Amino acid sequence: MTISHDLDEAGLDRELKGLIADVLGLDPAQAEAFGPESGLFGHLPELDSMAVAGLLTEMEDRLGIVIEDDDVDGEMLETYGGLLAFAKAKLDPR
Amino acid sequence: MIFTWNTPARDGKDGSEEMLLAFDRGRPVRVLVCPAWFDEANKLRRFTVEVMRRLDSAGIDSLLPDLPGCNESMVPLAEQTLEGWRSTMAAAAGALRATHVLAIRAGALVAPEGLPGWHYAAQSGPKLLRGMIRARTIAAREAGIFETSEDLMAQGRAAGLVLGGWSIGGAMFAALESAEPALGPGQSDIAQSTVGGPGPWLRAEPGEDAGQAGRLAALIDESVGNPAP
């Protein structure tokens, strides 16, 4: 399931939205509407700690990254933009 | 549909009476279902039963015993071990006269190797623990407590740990750290990509997907070459 490391930005955005749609049971079209300010953890009642853990573990598998304890903070989980920026930084740490 | 069976005595302890859900019409193909574990068991409950219903329609019996310590089981979960669950599932296979096994997610870790069958989206012990430990550290952080995965792993190994409300004993925890699903003779993997669609264990709220359940049941039906009912 691991996808390429040279995923472009649009590809990463698509992958991440698809993953959130899978976790929340949304139509791809609904997830497509996520913007940088769209709230995640703490905003969506169904996105509890267990669901977030599942989401991060699936991100590791699909993006081929390792997410450490220290990586996980409020900022990264609070909004879609935060999560996307985190994934981008993990994939391209320059 | 709901039956009981008695697990054999083990390590000087009496066996226990455990419940199982079964579509049992005494047909030639009888599939033992090793369910997903813990939180995933809840998320996959309807999916699992829907697969069993489809198998029933296809003329295949299926048997889903509780893992001791889970669901209706009266024995304490914290005392369960990976080896104990393995031998319970092997005993269930014999007592229930199973001819095949369908292991779901971490169920693959306890699938009797003597039965032919399928591992659906098999989950390893380390990945199972990683997800549950992560859920705990995230919840703790929300509550203003700082716990590290490393400390929790050490604690789990030494004395067991409660993760997501499940009491996992020290022996179970330590065994899971290196438990990888292994295919027995006549067993094959069914990846989620073969079934198609998002893995039902990913859903934050347990959902169902009749299409996926139908496809998994059809793969099994095809694989046993069962004549149409």
8 Å CB contact of A57 and B134? yes
Chain CA centroid to CA B154, Å? 25
- Shortest alpha-carbon distance between residue A75 and chain B (Å): 12
Closest CA to B17 of B101, B98, B74, B95: B74
Buried b / exposed e across A13-36, counting CB within 10 Å, b at 16+? bebbbbbbbbbbbbeeeebeebee
Mind listing the domains of chain A with CATH numbers? 9-91 (1.10.1200.10)
Q: How far is the C-alpha of A47 from the C-alpha of A24, rounded, in Å?
A: 8
Phi and psi torsions of B19, nearest 5°:
-95, 155
- Listing DSSP states for B61-121 in one string gives EEEEEPPTTSTT--S-GGG--HHHHHHHHHHHHHHTT-SEEEEEGGGGGG--TTS-EEEES
- Shortest alpha-carbon distance between residue B138 and chain A (Å): 6
Residue of A nearest to B150 (CA): A69
Closest CA to A20 of A84, A64, A86: A84
Tens place of pLDDT per residue across chain A (94 aa): 455 556 788 899 999 999 999 888 888 788 889 999 999 988 888 888 888 998 999 899 889 999 998 898 888 999 999 999 999 999 987 5
Q: How far is the C-alpha of B7 from the C-alpha of A89, rounded, in Å?
A: 51
As its CATH architecture, domain B2-123+181-224 has: 3-Layer(aba) Sandwich (3.40)
User: Number of C-alpha atoms within 13 angstroms, CB side, residue A73?
Assistant: 6
Q: Taking the domains of chain B in order of start, what are their residue ranges?
A: 2-123+181-224, 125-180
Tens place of pLDDT per residue across chain B (229 aa): 899 999 988 877 888 899 999 999 999 999 999 999 999 999 999 999 999 999 999 999 999 999 999 999 999 999 999 999 999 999 999 999 999 999 999 999 999 999 999 999 999 999 999 999 999 999 998 889 989 999 999 999 999 999 999 999 999 999 999 999 999 999 999 999 999 988 999 888 888 889 999 999 999 999 998 655 5
Q: How far is the C-alpha of B100 from the C-alpha of A14, rounded, in Å?
A: 39
Whether the CB of A3 is below 8 Å from some CB of chain B: the reply is no
pLDDT in tens, B25-71: 999 999 999 999 999 999 999 999 999 999 999 999 999 999 999 99
